[in-house]
Amino acid sequence: MSDVVEKTLSALPSLLSLDSQAGAGKLSPSSKLGNLIKGITELTSKHEEETLIKKELESIKEQVASPNTTMRQMKEIMVRAIYCEMLGYQASFSYIHAIKLAQQGSVLEKRVGYLAVSLFLNETDEFLLLLVNTVLKDLQSTNLIEVCMALTVVSQMFPKDMIPAILPVVEEKLTHPKEIIRRKAVLALYKFYLIAPNQVQHIHSKFRKALCDKDPGVMTASLHIYLQLIKENPESYKDLTGSMVTILRQVVGGKLPLDFNYHSVPAPWLQIQLLRILAYLGKEDQGTSEMMYDVLEESLRRAEMNHNITYAILFECVKTIYTVHPKSQLLEKAAECIGNFVLSPKINLKYLGLKALTYVVQQDANLALPHQMTIIECLDHSDVIIKRETLELLFRITNAQNVTVIVEKMLEFLRLTCDDYSTIDLVGKVAELTMNSVFSLGGDVMQPDIPNNFLRLLAEGVDNVEDRQLRLFAVDSYVSLLQGETAKLPQRFLQVISWVLGEYSYLREEESDPGSVMRLLARLLDQRHTSTETRSWVLGAMTKLCSSPVSVALARDVCERYLYSGSLNTVLRQKAQELMILSQDTKLRARVLPAEGRLESPEVDSSLSFLDGYVSDALAAGAAPYKSPHQRQEDLVQEKALSLEPYGLSLPVSLSSCSITDRRSPTLLSMSSGLSGNSTELSHQEGSTTLKLEGVKRVWGKDGYLAQQQSAGETPTPLVELPSPLLSPQSPPSQKPSSGLEPDQEKRQLASSLFVGLGSHNSVCLVRLPSTVWLFIKNCQSANQSNVVKSLFKPFYINSCQSKNHGSFVKVSGIFAARKSCQTDDSCCFPPQISCISGSPLKEVKGHSVSVCLHTVVMKRASVQVELAGLLSYQRPLGQPQAAQFSLSLSLKHFLRPLTVSTGDYGKMWLSFSHDLKQNLRLVTTEHQEPLTATLDALKGKLHLHVVDIIGSEGIVACRLLQGPGQGQPCLLHCRVHADSLAVWLRSPVPELPDSLLYHCQKALTET
């Protein structure tokens, strides 16, 4: 920065001399401003700045006091005064002159006067009263500019009490012939409404008139008012829904004059405003919501993804759709939109996508599932704001199963950003809230280090206001918890509570009687369900608290019970004894537990050097040297005296489950037992939700993440390997991680632990359920084969073990042993766009075996996406026939293949095709490649296109669509770089193909 300053300093003198030359003496005030600015830029220290401004203020003071100063000079002086105020120096003596300037100056000087007033004063300033008459006079002026200025200043600041004085005049302006005046009057009235709602109550009908104003600008201004009114009280304005919908429909439909377009989007800000109003109106109101579905859908459709401002509209649309009474069709589209936001490479859109997700997961946590990997990546994003938004999102999907991981992430974030107070405050509260709700749920299953982390978070950090607030908040919430029913609270949570109360109760002591916390703690001791460990925590807390006479008496009471009623636990006895002694001896207490020492962490001599003397004495007396437990254990192993290892389990599956737990974070181990408890319930869901979860399952299957397998499947893969995870328990999935995926491994694990509990299918990772059909449908594309192979692998097994209760993995293994063979047949329903040209039926499947059937599928009619659904029915030898549904979404690109043609042939084909389409697409930019090459490469990679030739700024591309046996139908693309976009011209003999392909191109490029 400093060399920039220097550079400027060297340049400024010449610049300013130029200025004064041009001014040539006549403009002495202007050069005074010039001098001031020059002086400011030449400053090198804060001290110099002070001197300079002081001097300047002196000179201003002198000038304003002089009777010879003209209004024009005054205007210039005001600008200088504004500069001084800007730098933080009071120029209060000039306030009155600013008002005078506004009163007496010509239009131009008046403007500066008003400006100075609005910058210098605030709404409560008494000086403003002097301005009322001026404003009133200007409002009644015939000069439009004066009226405008008055309205502006009124809306910026006006004393609340003086509103009645000018209200009638402002009201009158609502019918002014000039549109700009009406508009400003509406906003001024809105401002009045904000600061003094009662005073404008009688003119609500006039607002309605403004809403119906023939000028769209005035209508837009009135929407500010309605947004506020409807936000406060939606019920009274339901009748406006129809009008709002109509307005939005007209705007979206382009009925406004072209002047209102911004980047060829019709009045985007107006659209945003209307969408927000609709959200308030339609919230929890089905009838009203139904009125707006159509227009919402239209806005979604019209807002093409091409400019920042359309994203703004889309975002608003999505929010509205999720706020009003839900309609599944719209929700789907909105979810897709959110997906686009989250996946966008543009950081602002990503931020909004996360925000939108945060908003919608409250309704449907499963919406976050498709974006797991993106969310994980965002957690490590370099931008703190993105990170924080992600944590906020995670906070919303917290449940008893993933809380540990999420809280860990939050604590990690906290440690990194200790400089940002507001962040600490926010995330601290988040952690706090999570802890309270989840301690009581997750409770004892939780790893001990989580509460410890939490306590450290509370204890760490300087004693600033935020920390204090957080602690006080914790204390307060815990006290109220203890006042309620405590029997259900987990032991570990009770321990945390006692520690916090012991440490920080003093924060609230001013407002409550000192004994209350003690009494609550004593009550805890009395309860039967409180464990011994918790009791000792409680006693510890009491020791810290017994300062007042009330608590001393209480403590003594408690101690006597423990010491004399013959408690057998030595730890408890010792603690009680300590408490007894400390409560009796206040001096000792003050020394051991100094009140002001609470915040300093005591120094701990971890090397235990004070014991050195004792140790050497003991050694000298012939004692054996100390060995650490670890050492002792090693010795034991070496001596083979006793095997501490459990005997190896003979069941193969126990191996697999062990290795699963090895690979996952230890927290998952504890979760699994919680999960298996309700596994029977899950098993019922499993069958019914197969269809719905299919899209997710392909990515997040048993391994947690199947996408990698899928991509591996693009090269021909031995069939046996694919279903193996389920069919051969001897080689559990965890033992065969695909090579080259190691860096992702961690993320996947994280993802599976973060999103556990969001969908019932997640349980697949952990527990084998009875009576379940495992159905894996694989998408396999083989580049070598001449036609597409759509392979549906359906490895499955059916187990008939009816074990209802498996608390552990070992029990689960029994299911594997009891596998039976079964009979199956399958049926697929092919939508009109798809046909099956060859297929093999499924056969009887024996236990431990695989049946594979292959279907070759082609796309008969080009379309963007098709849904292939099927039913797999099967029968066990002695059982009822059963069925499992599956569905597979296939997009056009699954049916596209490169078309290799020469440039000459391309030219001939181009001329013969009749269906064509033109569109501009965005260019992909990379560092190493030309934009055109990069874009075409991206298309080639994603859509299997063949780049025929690139000449200069033009490129030709060809592909074919598999429509039946044989080559398939071609589609040709001609691409040209035009300005910043890629002009694409598609031609094909198939009617729908260019349109559908263009959609995929657009999507592919947006995702890049």
Partner 1 sequence: MWTLERNEDTEQQIIRETFHLVSKRDENVCNFLEGGMLIGGSENRLIYRHYATLYFVFCVDSSESELGILDLIQVFVETLDKCFENVCELDLIFHVDKVHNILAEMVMGGMVLETNMNEIIIQVDAQNKMEKSEAGIAGAPARAVSAVKNMNLPEMPRNINIGDISIKVPNLPSFK
Comparison of 71 and 550: residue with beta carbon closer to partner 1: 71
CA dihedral 60, 61, 66, 67 (to 10 degrees): 100
Q: By CB under 8 A, is residue 469 in contact with partner 1?
A: no
Return the H-helix or E-strand segment holding 637: helix 629-639
Question: What is the three-class DSSP state of 687?
Answer: helix
Distance of closest approach, residue 441 Cβ to partner 1, in angstroms: 26
Question: What is the three-class DSSP state of 978?
Answer: strand
Pick from 60, 139, 312, 338: which binds partner 1 (CB under 8 A)?
312
Instruction: For residue 594, give the amino acid letter.
Output: P
Q: By CB under 8 A, is residue 477 in contact with partner 1?
A: no
Q: By CB under 8 A, is residue 87 in contact with partner 1?
A: yes
Distance of closest approach, residue 469 Cβ to partner 1, in angstroms: 11
Pick from 347, 588, 611, 836: which binds partner 1 (CB under 8 A)?
347
**Count of residues touching partner 1 (by CB under 8 A):** 94
Q: Among 131, 80, 75, 151, which residue's Cα sits nearest to residue 107? A: 75
Distance of closest approach, residue 197 Cβ to partner 1, in angstroms: 16
Comparison of 430 and 901: residue with beta carbon closer to partner 1: 430
Q: Among 878, 858, 877, which residue's Cα sits nearest to residue 868? A: 858
Q: By CB under 8 A, is residue 118 in contact with partner 1?
A: yes
Q: Among 371, 369, 414, 370, which residue's Cα sits nearest to residue 391? A: 414
Q: Stretches 120-128, 358-366, 618-626, 866-874: which one binds partner 1 (CB under 8 A)?
A: 120-128
Q: By CB under 8 A, is residue 382 in contact with partner 1?
A: yes
Q: By CB under 8 A, is residue 79 in contact with partner 1?
A: yes
Q: Stretches 216-224, 372-380, 503-511, 901-909: which one binds partner 1 (CB under 8 A)?
A: 216-224
Question: Residue 273 corresponds to which tokens in the numbers above?
Answer: 């405003």
Q: Which of residues 39-58 bind partner 1 (CB under 8 A)?
A: 40-41, 43-46, 49
Distance of closest approach, residue 967 Cβ to partner 1, in angstroms: 46
Distance of closest approach, residue 87 Cβ to partner 1, in angstroms: 7
Q: By CB under 8 A, is residue 71 in contact with partner 1?
A: no
Q: By CB under 8 A, is residue 351 in contact with partner 1?
A: yes
Question: Residue 235 corresponds to which tokens in the numbers above?
Answer: 């019920």
Residue 722 · residue 777 · CB < 8 Å? no
Q: By CB under 8 A, is residue 556 in contact with partner 1?
A: no
Comparison of 123 and 681: residue with beta carbon closer to partner 1: 123
Q: Which of residues 731-750 bind partner 1 (CB under 8 A)?
A: none
Comparison of 118 and 889: residue with beta carbon closer to partner 1: 118
Comparison of 286 and 925: residue with beta carbon closer to partner 1: 925
Q: Which of residues 417-446 bind partner 1 (CB under 8 A)?
A: 421-422, 425-426
Return the H-helix or E-strand segment holding 866: strand 865-875
Comparison of 272 and 719: residue with beta carbon closer to partner 1: 272
Q: What is the 3-state secondary structure (H, E, C) of 400-416?
A: CCCHHHHHHHHHHHHHH
Q: By CB under 8 A, is residue 386 in contact with partner 1?
A: yes
Q: Which of residues 786-825 bind partner 1 (CB under 8 A)?
A: none
DSSP 8-class letter at 647: P
Cα 35 from Cα 27, distance rounded (Å) = 12
Comparison of 13 and 807: residue with beta carbon closer to partner 1: 13
Comparison of 265 and 792: residue with beta carbon closer to partner 1: 265
Q: Stretches 152-160, 753-761, 899-907, 966-974: which one binds partner 1 (CB under 8 A)?
A: 152-160
Q: Tokens 């009576």 label which residue?
A: 771
Q: Stretches 308-316, 856-864, 904-912, 966-974: which one binds partner 1 (CB under 8 A)?
A: 308-316
Task: Report the Cα 22 to chain-centroid distance in Å.
Answer: 56
Q: Which of residues 164-183 bind partner 1 (CB under 8 A)?
A: 180, 183
Pick from 132, 136, 165, 272: which binds partner 1 (CB under 8 A)?
272
Cα 687 from Cα 349, distance rounded (Å) = 37
Q: Stretches 207-215, 224-232, 332-340, 731-739: which one binds partner 1 (CB under 8 A)?
A: 224-232
Pick from 130, 305, 309, 853: which binds partner 1 (CB under 8 A)?
309
The DSSP-derived string for 756-812 is TTSSGGGGGGT-PPTT-----------SSSSS--EEEE-----B--------SHHHH
Pick from 187, 438, 727, 850: which binds partner 1 (CB under 8 A)?
187
Instruction: For residue 965, give the amino acid letter.
Output: P
Cα 135 from Cα 128, distance rounded (Å) = 10
Q: What is the 3-state secondary structure (H, E, C) of 930-941?
A: CHHHHHHHHHHH
Q: Stretches 102-110, 603-611, 762-770, 796-804: which one binds partner 1 (CB under 8 A)?
A: 102-110
Output Rg (C-alpha) for the chain, integer angstroms: 38
Question: Residue 698 corresponds to which tokens in the numbers above?
Answer: 């392909």
Comparison of 306 and 710: residue with beta carbon closer to partner 1: 306
The DSSP-derived string for 55-71 is HHHHHHHHHHH-TT--H
Distance of closest approach, residue 348 Cβ to partner 1, in angstroms: 5
Comparison of 298 and 392: residue with beta carbon closer to partner 1: 392
Q: By CB under 8 A, is residue 106 in contact with partner 1?
A: yes
Q: By CB under 8 A, is residue 82 in contact with partner 1?
A: yes
Q: By CB under 8 A, is residue 107 in contact with partner 1?
A: yes
DSSP 8-class letter at 484: S
Q: Which of residues 13-42 bind partner 1 (CB under 8 A)?
A: 15, 18-19, 21-24, 26-27, 30, 33-34, 37, 40-41
Pick from 66, 68, 88, 928: which binds partner 1 (CB under 8 A)?
88
Phi/psi of residue 263, nearest 5 degrees? 50, 45
Q: By CB under 8 A, is residue 352 in contact with partner 1?
A: yes
Pick from 94, 134, 155, 791: which binds partner 1 (CB under 8 A)?
155
Q: By CB under 8 A, is residue 264 in contact with partner 1?
A: no
Residue 858 · residue 866 · CB < 8 Å? no
Name every residue whose Cβ is closer than 8 Å to that of residue 922 and which is 6 or more positions away in sequence.
Answer: 306, 980, 981, 982, 1005, 1006
Please state whether beta strands 265-266 and 881-891 pair in parallel, antiparallel, or not at all (unpaired).
unpaired
Pick from 129, 212, 385, 817: which binds partner 1 (CB under 8 A)?
385
Q: By CB under 8 A, is residue 387 in contact with partner 1?
A: no
Pick from 316, 503, 694, 826: which binds partner 1 (CB under 8 A)?
316
Comparison of 200 and 221: residue with beta carbon closer to partner 1: 221
Q: By CB under 8 A, is residue 259 in contact with partner 1?
A: yes
User: In the beta sheet, which residues pair with residue 856?
Assistant: 838
* CA angle (495, 499, 505) in 5-degree steps: 135
Pick from 60, 139, 221, 943: which binds partner 1 (CB under 8 A)?
221
Please state whether beta strands 915-922 and 823-829 pair in parallel, antiparallel, or not at all (unpaired).
unpaired
User: In the beta sheet, which residues pair with residue 982?
Assistant: 921, 977
Distance of closest approach, residue 601 Cβ to partner 1, in angstroms: 27
Q: By CB under 8 A, is residue 1 in contact with partner 1?
A: yes
| Maximum pairwise Cα distance, the chain | 113
Q: Stretches 85-93, 134-142, 433-441, 709-717: which one binds partner 1 (CB under 8 A)?
A: 85-93
Q: By CB under 8 A, is residue 504 in contact with partner 1?
A: no
Cα 997 from Cα 999, distance rounded (Å) = 5
Question: What is the three-class DSSP state of 159?
Answer: coil
Q: By CB under 8 A, is residue 269 in contact with partner 1?
A: yes
Comparison of 153 and 668: residue with beta carbon closer to partner 1: 153
Q: Residues for the chain: how many in total?
A: 1008
Residue 291 · residue 242 · CB < 8 Å? yes
Q: Tokens 């339609």 label which residue?
A: 282
Helix, strand and coil content of the chain, in percent to the nearest 5, comes to 60, 10, 30
